Amino acid sequence: MSEALGLYNYWIVIFLMMTGLYLVISTGNLVRKVVGLNIFQASVLLLYVTMGRVDGATAPIFVEGRETYTDPLPSVLMLTAIVVGVATTAVALALTVRINEAYGTIEEDEINEQEHAQELAG
């Protein structure tokens, strides 16, 4: 039991991951989908930073009297992942703007209706 609680960071990761994924799947609003995607990606940031942590360790800077350091690599990787996430969000929001211009809505069911009509018209 205490072991399960001690891993509470991972519980948060799983909670955030599922929240984000659920939002992406369930909502029909394109902006909300992007928000869900962001939460989903943020959970991975936490996962990586958590796995780099070592109990009782300091930041990986050489200091007198300290011998254990946290693993800096996962944190550094996440800087890259944040950049990728920002780029993805930017592209997604730009697309949403274009979709709004083309369809006059960002609700998925209304878009589907219009597309269906377009399909029937040829």
Partner 1 sequence: MSEHLAVLPVLLPLLAAPICFLLRNRIAAMGTAIAVCWVTFVAGVVLLRTVVTTGAPAIYELGGWSADVGIVYHVDTLAAFVVVLVSSLGAVVLTFAPQSIAKEIPKEKHHFFAALYLLSMAGLLGIAVTGDLFNVFVFLEISSLSTYALISLGQDRRALTATFRYLILGTVGATFILIGTGLMYQMTGTLNMAEMAAHIRETEGVRTVLVAIAFLTAGIGLKMALFPLHAWLPNAYCYAPSSVTAFVAATSTKVSVYVLIRWIYTIFGTQGPGSMSGVVVDLVLPAMAISGMFIASTVAIFQTNVKRLLAFSSVAQIGYMALGVSLVSESGLTAGIAHLFNHALTKGGLFLAMGCIAYRIGSVQLADMRGLGRRMPVTMFLWVLGGLGLIGVPCTAGFVSKWYLVRAALEQDALYLAVIILLSSLLAVIYVWRVIETAYFQEPPEGKDEVTEAPLSLLIPTAVLIGASIYFGLFTEWSADVAGLAARELLGVVR
Residues that bind partner 1 (CB under 8 A): 21, 24, 30, 33, 37, 40-41, 44, 47-48, 51, 73-74, 77, 80-81, 84, 87-88, 91-92, 95-96, 98-99, 102-103, 111, 115, 118, 122
Q: Which is nearer to partner 1, 64 or 112 (CB)?
A: 112
How many angstroms separate the first and last alpha carbons of the chain?
Answer: 61
Query: 17: which 2 tokens?
Result: 């991951």
Query: 71: which 2 tokens?
Result: 């693993």
Task: Return the bridge partners of 29, or none.
Answer: 107
Query: 115: which 2 tokens?
Result: 């597309």
Q: Which is nearer to partner 1, 63 or 112 (CB)?
A: 112
Least distance (Å) between residue 44 CB and partner 1: 5
Among candidate residues 91, 103, 110, the one with its CA nearest the CA of residue 29 = 110
Least distance (Å) between residue 63 CB and partner 1: 21
